[in-house]
Amino acid sequence: MSSTSQTVIPHHIAIVMDGNGRWATRRFLPRLAGHRQGVESLRRCVRACVARGVGVLTVFAFSSENWNRPADEVSGLMDLLAKALAREVPQLSRDGVRLHFVGEKSGLSDKVRDGLRQAEAATAGNGRLVLNVCFNYGGRWDIAQAAAALAARGEPITESSLHAAMGMAHVPDPDLLIRTGGEKRISNFLLWQAAYTELYFSDRLWPDFDEAALDEAIADYAARERRFGRTSEQLQAAPPDSLRA
């Protein structure tokens, strides 16, 4: 990346990591092999984001709708998560990455929940990159659980209170949302938070999404004018810190 492009690196990148199963099927491999390769791609992406100065990376690892997939694939994904945590957390900690797991945890096994808690605790002191892993997550679930929490506390439901009760309240909204795999939809991901997010769709399947592909997405983002409802003339006159929705 050039020194000029460094000034327009998105602070928060979100990714729908789509195409693992198709990647495996095209190679006559079981779908789980694609998910394993997807973990390797995520490892590359995390390190690339750290190197490029991205502050927050949020990935859609397992949606609330994914429970409808074949039972052996779901079981394999849970096992893959447990093994990936045990293997990756020490290196993530050395790289300064702080883990957050966002999603409904009550539907997970005790083993998986314990693994998530331990990973968050082991990386809690890191500040170079926040890595949000959305697991058993859905955008509609996030809005509903936030509203329910406010109602249970007897608090008024406003835009600001609802935002503060959501699973992503600890980070600013995404600047750039990338979806791989050729599909052009966000599939119930960050519905509230993506209100003013720039969308980028890649035909590459997630296991093939490398550092060069990430740089292409960032370059596309850098060329856009983010107006947040304003006009171009207003943007030119406004202080940079005021340009938010």
Residues annotated within the binding site are 18-23, 31, 35, 63-65, 67, 69, 179, 185-187, 198
Active-site pick, 66, 95, 126, 215: 66
Active-site pick, 18, 142, 173, 175: 18
Residues tagged in the binding site annotation for substrate: 19-23, 31, 35, 63-65, 67, 69, 179, 185-187
> Any idea what the Cα angle at residue 59 is, between residues 144 and 8, rounded to 5°?
110
Residues tagged in the binding site annotation for Mg(2+): 18, 198
3-class DSSP string for 13-44:
EEEECCCHHHHHHCCCCCHHHHHHHHHHHHHH
Q: Is 136 a catalytic residue?
A: no
Q: What is the DSSP secondary-structure string of 63-124?
A: EGGGGGS-HHHHHHHHHHHHHHHHHHHHHHHHTTEEEEEES--TTS-HHHHHHHHHHHHHTT
Give the integer Cα–Cα distance in Å for 13 and 32: 26
Residue whose pair of structure tokens reads 């309240």 in the numeric block:
169
Q: Is 114 a catalytic residue?
A: no
Residue whose pair of structure tokens reads 């850098």 in the numeric block:
222
Which residues are identified as catalytic? 18, 66
